[in-house]
Structure 1
């Protein structure tokens, strides 16, 4: 059995940030990435996706984004940046290596790989993100819908939906962006339980993220300054508000029922729909920890600020609201990774 200091599960932005931080503490991390390259979920996002934050605020520790600092990098640029970042790391990164199970044995963890083989690690960082676990909420009658149902994780471009009647469920950034680009080629409704709330992309000539950093809100600990995660805001430079104002897409309250291919709206009207896109977010993708007892009944990790409450030597990086507003983003994951590495290094020095 191979022995390592720390097994980092996930080779996307969170895992790479964790590996960098661990190396800085003199540890020997092994990064295990299920996909074919160390770019996490970025290559699988929809085709038109760009970062919400400018390049100047979107780098992992030590390697700034190249190019104009105030541009918003495209999905493919982010994927290429991560691959380049991985190549610079003094860490063993193994792609095409999926973790099936983690179990605890006395003073170590045993990491079992789905392709065979095991790794013994003194510590583990779970950094596999959320993209592999799309959230599909229970919606009235959705199981009886005879049209196409897909999650935003499966959506790529509007081309396949030309001329169709589409309902996009959600009120966040992805929901509004997907609905707006579909509305160019199809008749689209954005359906949500509450109204869409916007945040201006630029304030007094500065990007919103400048002000988040300037005020300290971006890294402010949840629970101290942010009692609960605030209402999700759609970051907008004016295009998406204008699209909704012009009813392209239109916005309605969530449908009340579905029968066959027919949707019933809250006003009692009915209409045939071709497809429903669920832009309803994600949940932590940590199936390999189920047998370890490190998760609650809903599959969420039991942790405080990324430190496991059930197992010494287990840490999490890249969880939404792990510690702050920016915890699961390129601009913020480095801080959480540094914190996790510092704590793991102290634990391993004592053990």
Structure 2
């Protein structure tokens, strides 16, 4: 079992941080979770109201605690996920500190010094960067955006369709969130889905079973990243047939991505102009890791790592990165496997560092 007089700091108390804390306890580490928010539920309370998981409850739990409920094949709603994470955090015998934002991580001997916005400086044997990416939504740069007088927002800040009633709206993106939000808005607004390529649909159910059943029994959900990048080149949308039919019937229009904004609308790829009231970008997120800047381990904001283990700093690991080790790495159903992997590597490093410190202490001359 790994032992160290200093804790392992886990930055972020959402699903990744909680999975990391449980894995760290299991190998004898002393985890301390630092969460900037008021509770350890990650970004889930801030997602749009109608969001449901794309995987059934039976495949969506973190290690050690089932979702519960009478129907394991249901798709849990946003608020159910929030309640589940609260329950999960409460079951862990871990030092969890909320309202604490990590501002910087510095190297310190064989470990690290973690600085927070409360003025604390915490020595750490290792660091698990589990802060996710929701706090860093990506908005692509497009000509004329500063001149556009309408509303521009990322889907991270979209909540419900009613404020868009009667408006002309463009939703940008070809993934699950883009299609789900665009389809929801159709009942309230005139909506166009703007994408750079045709949408790829994946059937939600195959031979009467949810897709995640087949991913589980075949092991496809755990395929290595190297294999995934060859197989999955574009975003894919899980669909029972509703979304595909909405586009095929013209209920939900899809057009090739526009090329620029004007003061009151957009310029489409064919050169035509259209007045638009609002543009919602569902264009993904980027790792939220600015606090690692002092380590110089980020390359254009992206950490240098393999399978979640830093290639630049021993004792630094990551959780919740998209495609970190598998298709499900940044999901509830997959982060537990990744947590076990990176924590095992971290524990081995902490044990080695502890042995090295003990060896040096025993052999260095005592100054008098």
The answer to whether TM tops 0.5 is yes
Q: 1:4·1:29 contact (CA, 8 Å) conserved in 2? A: no
1:224 Cα deviation (Å)?
4.4
2:162 equivalent to 1:154: no
What CA deviation, in whole Å up to 9, does each residue of 1:252-297 have, x standing for no partner?
011132210122222333221100000000011101001211111x
1:45 Cα deviation (Å)?
0.5
SS of residue in 1 equivalent to 2:298: coil
Q: 2:228·2:327 contact (CA, 8 Å) conserved in 1? A: no
Distance 2:251 2:37 in 1: 36
2:123 equivalent to 1:120: yes
**Residue 244 of structure 1 aligns with which residue?**
247
Distance 1:121 1:271 in 2: 55
Q: 1:24 aligns with which of 18, 23, 26?
A: 26
SS of residue in 1 equivalent to 2:269: coil
**Residue 49 of structure 1 aligns with which residue?**
51
1:180 Cα deviation (Å)?
0.7
Distance 1:270 1:7 in 2: 52
Q: CA 1:311–1:229 in structure 2 vs 1: closer, same or farther (change >3 Å)?
A: farther
SS of residue in 2 equivalent to 1:227: helix
1:44 Cα deviation (Å)?
0.5
Distance 2:287 2:344 in 1: 23
**Residue 360 of structure 2 aligns with which residue?**
none
Q: CA 1:116–1:291 in structure 2 vs 1: closer, same or farther (change >3 Å)?
A: same
Q: 2:79 aligns with which of 76, 97, 100?
A: 76
**Residue 257 of structure 1 aligns with which residue?**
260
What CA deviation, in whole Å up to 9, does each residue of 1:136-169 have, x standing for no partner?
1122332321101000011000111110000111
2:191 equivalent to 1:188: yes
1:225 Cα deviation (Å)?
6.0
Distance 1:229 1:105 in 2: 40
Q: CA 1:54–1:221 in structure 2 vs 1: closer, same or farther (change >3 Å)?
A: same
What CA deviation, in whole Å up to 9, does each residue of 1:221-276 have, x standing for no partner?
11146536432110011111122223232100111322101222223332211000
2:323 equivalent to 1:309: no
TM-score w.r.t. structure 2 length? 0.92
If you compute each CA radius of gyration, which structure gives the higher value, 1 or 2?
2
Distance 1:330 1:316 in 2: 15
SS of residue in 2 equivalent to 1:167: strand
SS of residue in 2 equivalent to 1:223: helix
**Residue 7 of structure 1 aligns with which residue?**
9
Distance 1:118 1:248 in 2: 56
**Residue 332 of structure 1 aligns with which residue?**
334
How many residue pairs align between the two structures?
A: 348
Distance 2:260 2:287 in 1: 29
Structure 1: 4+ residue segments shifted above 6 A? none
1:118 Cα deviation (Å)?
1.4
Q: 1:222·1:228 contact (CA, 8 Å) conserved in 2? A: no
**Residue 170 of structure 1 aligns with which residue?**
173
Q: 1:56·1:65 contact (CA, 8 Å) conserved in 2? A: yes
Task: Out of 85-94 and 263-272, give the one that drifted further.
Answer: 263-272
TM-score w.r.t. structure 1 length? 0.97
2:283 equivalent to 1:289: no
SS of residue in 2 equivalent to 1:284: coil
**Residue 210 of structure 1 aligns with which residue?**
213
For structure 2, the 5+ residue unaligned runs are 354-368
**Residue 364 of structure 2 aligns with which residue?**
none
